[in-house]
Amino acid sequence: MKYLKHCGAALFVALAPFLAPSVAAAHDATVLGAELRPDADGWFVAVTLRHEESGWDEYADGWRVEARDGTILGVRPLAHPHVNEQPFTRSTTGVRIGPQMKTIFIRARTSRDGWSRRRTEIPVPR
């Protein structure tokens, strides 16, 4: 039994370099905040994200605005990594936020993991 415990530890140490990337890769971009204001075509929305980017292999490649029920109100694709620009803010216009909505939700996306399961609630200024 002692030998198996020792072999297990040695095996883990030997495999750790191969296991670590798959474990470390599964992380979402974090929504740090958002600015909302009415504009001529709907709403201007600027979102600040942070993500530990590795370059083209994995980067925050978008965010979207959702209603409480999950309806997508607007999407902002991000075309390239922001490795040396963290956190970073990008905006879009023309987001359709209904007059009855008191809050919206921002959901980030990464090139490797897709849309996050987490979303950040943002109050709509009126």
For the segment 80-98, what is each residue's pLDDT rounded down to a tens digit?
776 677 898 999 999 999 9
- pLDDT mean across residues, the chain: 80
Number of domains in the chain: 1
Q: Is residue 17, in this structure, part of any structural domain at all?
A: no
Residue 59 lies in a domain: yes
Position 13 in a domain: no
CATH of residue 101: 2.60.40.150
User: Is pLDDT above 90 for 23?
Assistant: no
The reported pTM is: 0.75
pLDDT of residue 15: 34
Question: Is 86 within a domain?
Answer: yes
Domain of residue 62: give its range: 27-123
In a domain, 52, yes or no: yes
Cβ density class 59-97: b for 16+ within 10 Å, e for less: bbbbbbbbeeeeeebbebebeebbeeeeebebebeebeb
